[in-house]
Amino acid sequence: MGLRSHLSRARGALSSHLVSIRAAGIVEERTWRDLEDALLLADVGAKTTDELLSEARERFERNDEVDVEGLLGILKSVLIERLGVTDRSLATGGEPSVWLFVGVNGAGKTTTIGKVGSREVAAGLQVVFAAGDTFRAAAADQLATWADRVGSPLVRGAENADPSSVIFDAVEHAAARGADLVLADTAGRFHTKSNLMDELAKVRRVAEKGSGTVTETLLVIDATTGQNGLVQARQFAEVVEVTGIVLTKLDGSARGGIVVAVQEDIGIPVKLVGVGEGGDDLVEFDPVDFVDALFGVTAEI
Amino acid sequence: MFESLSSRFEGVLKRVRGKGRLSAEDVEDFLGEFRLALLDADVHLAVVRTFQDRIRERAVGSEVSGALNPGQQVVKIVLEELTAVLGGETHRLSYASKPPTVVLLAGLQGAGKTTTAAKLARWFKTQGRNPMLIGADLQRPAAVEQLQTLAERIDVPVFSDPTDSVSVARAGLAEARRLGRDVVICDTAGRLAIDDDLMDELVGVAEVLEPHHTLLVVDAMVGQDAVKTAESFHARLGLDAVVLTKLDGDARGGAALSIKEVLGRPIAFASTGETLDDFELFHPDRLASRILGMGDVETLIERAEETFEQVEAEAAASRLLDGSFTLNDFLDQLKALRKMGPISDIMGMVPGMAHQMKGVEADVDERRIDRIEGIIHSMTPSERANPDVIDGSRRARIAAGSGTKPNEINQLVRQFREMRKMMKQMGGKSQGAKGRRKGRKTRGSRTTVGGSVPIDKKKGLSLPGLGDAEGAGSFPVDLGS
């Protein structure tokens, strides 16, 4: 199943702005204001919205397009271009490969790991879960439930154990068994806490001390996140070389527009999208579907 | 990337300086910057518009005249409008006349409900209550285990059962009555407001519990969707207040302001850290400062007020202004200042300073202040009262006593004399300033954004005790904005 079908529920909340934009039929000053509103309400951010619209306007005027549909098409292509044609595949190739999941508190890291595990096991990989969140109470139990569902081993440490050593052990465990992939959870942390960010850098280093290679470091961002998401992405990227974004909870009415700025300013592509709590509610990011959903454009299709 | 409103206003302020009257265009320039600041802080678009309209109406009208220059006048209006929405009193939870007082927590996934449940239980304990927790989040794996682990740390009982959330709520409430607990806090699964089945379930839980307080747990990082989410929860559950979590990051929390403006529901608590005691009653106007990047001025003022002994300060102030200020007074001031915390922390709370201090490791050298204290401590009372008596041999003694060099003592005495002279001149100029409280000097700086603009100090900031057994579910505080 693709992103589009998963977003049907969210798309039900068709932006009223779009209704009025379409109802007018012609492009007038008001149309631009309505488009601006739609982008701002999707958390695209004031600066990025301005840039998107001025580029769309330039193209619109150059093309002598008059109708609203033409304009919407232009704006969508501006957005899709900005989201880029980046490679969104998840890298393997280590023996084992380690995928590290990082992010602020409550972004959905543990649930995402469960879903990724379910997906990769279904694809035929041998997966080991590493309960690297030793801080949050019962985080390891939560991951253990997922490991049971998927039927893969979980390596965990004591509460408040050093996360680096838990993940190191998991990598060694995976190497010994000839497993392909270690999915490593980490405790949620704010990018403003330098001691915790240092800890994360250490986790990243130690994960490669043994036989494993960190082939993906995925930053998990909640789709309801506002403008702070950009700051988060920048700080995490500085500390651990983030290779991709997982945008979670996109099944609500939130649109996750902050990832447009993240992709453009920091150059980190969105790779996966979380759209529910089930094991298969995780899909690959598709810029076209995402942009459509951003406006609620395809609601009637 | 997130500029403070004061720095955003700087450019416009510079341009309109010296103008007698602001054009509508000037006002729009201000409003444009204001809009960007609010949007960057995740204030909802509709709320931004409301603000802009109110400010435009006041700024373009007759109010722009008088003692302030027009630029300052606009800044003043902006601050007044913001504090009008956010300001007001700290919200107090009332207790049910017939215990237990029931608190229901609801919110999206990952907002922080489970942690909030435990923090709230701990807070009720500090208020002398006997809370009990109900773990009705049967959705997320290990959510109940998480609640149990946290509850153990604060020694609060938890009730849960792997049945369904409505049954758990019913049985939990009965258990609380049986145990004679006077506060019950119910954690629930995170859910999307558009998920009808789960919302129905939540309404079922609420019907069983008949909560006195239904609190929506909101993440400070949330964006434009916050208002819609809050409206949906409010429509189904009837919210009483909001708990704002994750304020320990650097998110501005504009969504919370929007919820208050749109729903008229106050923010009751704020969660500011990972440990269970990082939880406090919410001070509305502090969020205004945060949103605008003005620094946490209220905190600074409070700390200053706790620290300065008012009478002493007033006496010292009058001595300062008539020139009889001594090194003893100076020492007292230094000590009082240091009681407020590390100098670098204090600087961070001063508007405009947080930005300047960023990256610079506290320019203020704490050790230098140590040395000054050492020098004064090594002086006799008469030397402190009148440093002019310090001659070569006294200087050598003081230097030996404080482990400093004689020229450092010279330097201190010289600086002190200059300061006293300057103060005396100021005192002569402003007679009325005599007896002014030291604390108020700090307060003056709070009101300065790009110019000097006085705003009323919001009353009602003192940490309230709890209301007595008032009518359950009623909020003594004005709910509108």
- Cis upstream peptide for B100 (omega within 30°): yes
Q: Which residue from B minimizes the CA distance to A138? A: B146
Residue A298 lies in a domain: no
Domain final residue, candidates A25, A57, A83: A83
Interface test with B, best of A17, A104, A105 (most B CBs within 10 A): A105
Look at chain A and report how many structural domains it folds into.
2
Q: Are residues A79 and A101 in the same domain?
A: no
Q: Helix (H, G, I), strand (E, B), or coil: what is residue B128?
A: coil
Could you read off the pLDDT of B32-67 as tens digits, one per residue? 888 888 898 899 999 999 888 988 888 776 554 554
Could you read off the pLDDT of A17-50 as tens digits, one per residue? 677 777 777 888 888 988 898 899 999 999 999 9
For residue B446, the model assigns a pLDDT of: 34
For residue B307, the model assigns a pLDDT of: 44
Is residue B435 pLDDT above 70, yes or no?
Answer: no
Is residue B468 pLDDT above 60, yes or no?
Answer: no
- Partners of residue A225 in chain B, C-beta under 8 Å: 221-223
Q: Are residues A52 and A162 in the same domain?
A: no
Q: Are residues A62 and A148 in the same domain?
A: no
Q: Hey, what domains does chain B have and what are their CATH numbers?
A: 5-86 (1.20.120.140), 101-283 (3.40.50.300), 300-446 (1.10.260.30)
CA distance A64 to B62: 45
Q: Grade residue B343 by pLDDT with cuts at 50, 70 and 90.
A: low
Could you read off the pLDDT of A65-110 as tens digits, one per residue? 668 888 888 998 999 998 877 789 999 988 899 999 999 999 999 9
For residue B346, the model assigns a pLDDT of: 53
Residue A291 lies in a domain: no
Q: Are residues A102 and A64 in the same domain?
A: no
Residue A88 lies in a domain: no
What's the distance, CA B89 to chain centroid?
12
How far is CA A163 from each of CA A166, A169, B76, B328, rounded to the nearest angstrom? 5, 10, 50, 53
Is residue B298 pLDDT above 60, yes or no?
Answer: no
**Mean pLDDT of the B456-467 span:** 28
B467 contact partners, CB below 8 Å, separation of at least 6: B92, B93, B94, B95, B476
Q: Are residues A27 and A151 in the same domain?
A: no
**Mean pLDDT of the A140-155 span:** 95
Sign of CA dihedral A172, A175, A177, A180: positive
Torsion of CA A177, A181, A185, A189, to 10 degrees: 130
Quick check: ipTM above 0.95? no
User: Is B219:B111 a contact under the CB 8 Å cutoff?
Assistant: yes
CATH number at residue A11: 1.20.120.140
Q: B223 and A258 in contact by Cβ < 8 A?
A: yes
Residue A294 lies in a domain: no
CA distance A192 to A201: 14
List, in sequence order, the alpha helices (H) in B215-309. Answer: 225-237, 254-263, 284-292, 297-307
Domain final residue, candidates A28, A60, A83: A83
Could you read off the pLDDT of B205-255 as tens digits, one per residue? 999 999 999 999 999 999 999 998 999 999 999 999 999 999 888 888 888
Residue A121 lies in a domain: yes
- CB of A8 less than 8 A from some CB of B: no
Of A106, A145, A224, the CB nearest to B223: A224
Interface test with A, best of B49, B191, B221 (most A CBs within 10 A): B221
Q: Are residues A267 and A186 in the same domain?
A: yes
CA distance A78 to A69: 14
Nearest residue to A212 (alpha-carbon basis) of A153, A286, A128, A293: A128
Torsion of CA A90, A94, A97, A101, to 10 degrees: -60
**Mean pLDDT of the A203-209 span:** 95
Q: Are residues A148 and A216 in the same domain?
A: yes
Is residue A13 pLDDT above 50, yes or no?
Answer: no
CATH number at residue A249: 3.40.50.300
Q: Are residues A176 and A272 in the same domain?
A: yes
Q: Are residues A101 and A28 in the same domain?
A: no
Q: A104 and B149 in contact by Cβ < 8 A?
A: no
CA distance B172 to B161: 9
Residue A112 lies in a domain: yes
Of B41, B141, B225, the CB nearest to A146: B141
The range of the structural domain enclosing residue A13 comes to 3-83
DSSP per-residue codes, B217-229? EEETTB-THHHHH
- CB of A222 less than 8 A from some CB of B: yes
CA distance B476 to B125: 22
Q: A141 and B141 in contact by Cβ < 8 A?
A: yes
Q: Are residues A61 and A197 in the same domain?
A: no
What's the distance, CA B475 to chain centroid?
22
Residue A194 lies in a domain: yes
Q: B249 and A40 in contact by Cβ < 8 A?
A: no
Q: Are residues A252 and A111 in the same domain?
A: yes
Residue A299 lies in a domain: no
- Partners of residue A224 in chain B, C-beta under 8 Å: 108, 219, 222-223, 225-226, 229
- Partners of residue A255 in chain B, C-beta under 8 Å: 225
Is residue A15 pLDDT above 60, yes or no?
Answer: no
Q: What six digits make up the tokens of B120?
A: 């709230």
Q: Are residues A103 and A223 in the same domain?
A: yes
Q: What DSSP designation does A91 have?
A: P
More confident residue, B322 or A204: A204
Q: Which residue from B minimizes the CA distance to A189? A: B249
For residue B428, the model assigns a pLDDT of: 55
Q: A45 and B36 in contact by Cβ < 8 A?
A: no
Q: Helix (H, G, I), strand (E, B), or coil: what is residue A271?
A: strand
Nearest residue to A220 (alpha-carbon basis) of A116, A117, A103: A103
